Amino acid sequence: MADITQNYQIKYSEKWGSYLQQEASRLEKYVTVESGLSGKMVAFDQYGLLSFTEKTDRLQTTVLDEAPTTRRVIYPKIYTKAIGFDEFDAKQLANIDVPVSKTIEGLRAAAGRCMDKVMLDAFLGTCYVGENGTVAVPFDNNQIIDVDYTESGSASNSSLTLAKLRKALAMLQKAEAWNEERRAYGDELVLACSSSQIAALLREPEVGSFDYNTVRALVEGKIDSFLGFRIIRTEQLPVAENGQRPCLAWVKSKAQFGLWEDFKVKLTVRDDLDEALQVRAKFACGATRLQEEGFVKILCAEN
């Protein structure tokens, strides 16, 4: 006769767990958002810089100039996802529910991550200008801080450093893209970087000399702002084949995000699939840099 261990049972969880994931968009609060868009593209018209000409003669002929205007456009990217459950899944799952609510949560989280990627791809990549939005504008090389940048001494590849942050801030200020007066009008200075770049920043000797509470907030991941930048951690910044990962600084008012259709979920019973339950989500969005001088790419060696 077998012992009682032959009758041991397996106890299953009655709740669905979730994989580790980014659960919402981290960048949407730190860009300019335009919703309810329509059309195959949307144009954002801007007025350029004016300057005066010195008058050197009496009663001289007036020279009439054209108004300096520019146009940036956004093309929509459309995303959909549908998950299905058979009509008998609930019966066969027994004491665990069909994970409809978990599916909706997962779709919402995936949409947030996807929107962040759309923004980062647009801000780091090629944007489009012109009357018909067909002229490509790659990221300006003058707005890139090299991976080996240093304020003094021999150049050497490095991750995120205070020297690079100071350089980025100086570039934005020199271009008049940023000053403290803009903050009073709701504008913001933003820095998107990965956890490895934040870790590298913490190893900087100078960081330790800053206010204790600021450093503690960095260590605990409760990052609010540092050196004037609102720091946003994202793991979606791409790593190039040469091992370099960019972090990106920008001015909120110059980072444009557009929503043709915000995230929506619809539950439908599919009669064509034996009354299966369909959970379908969709959204449509796009992004662009509004002005090159409002962005700085900081190249970092990935550790």
The answer to the question of residue 173 being in a domain is yes
The structural domain count of the chain equals: 1
Give per-residue pLDDT as tens, 260-283.
Answer: 999 999 999 999 999 999 999 999
The answer to the question of residue 282 being in a domain is no
How much is the pLDDT for 209?
62
**Chain center to CA of 90:** 38
**Chain center to CA of 252:** 11
Give per-residue pLDDT as tens, 132-153.
Answer: 889 999 999 999 999 999 998 8
The answer to the question of residue 120 being in a domain is no
The answer to the question of residue 264 being in a domain is no
Q: Which residue has the higher pLDDT, 70 or 18?
A: 70
**Structural domain for 236, as ranges:** 140-253+291-301
The answer to the question of residue 181 being in a domain is yes
Question: What does pLDDT average to over the chain?
Answer: 88
For residues 244 and 303, the answer to whether their CB atoms sit within 8 Å is no
The answer to the question of residue 112 being in a domain is no
At residue 205, the 3 state secondary structure works out as helix
Complete DSSP assignment for 146-166: -TT--SSSS----SS-HHHHH
Q: Which residue has the higher pLDDT, 271 or 17?
A: 271
Q: Which residue has the higher pLDDT, 16 or 142?
A: 142
- pTM reported for the whole predicted model: 0.88
The answer to the question of residue 204 being in a domain is yes
Q: Is 270 exposed, middle or buried (0-12, 13-18, 19+ CB in 10 A)?
A: middle
How much is the pLDDT for 181?
85
At residue 110, the 3 state secondary structure works out as helix
The answer to the question of residue 190 being in a domain is yes
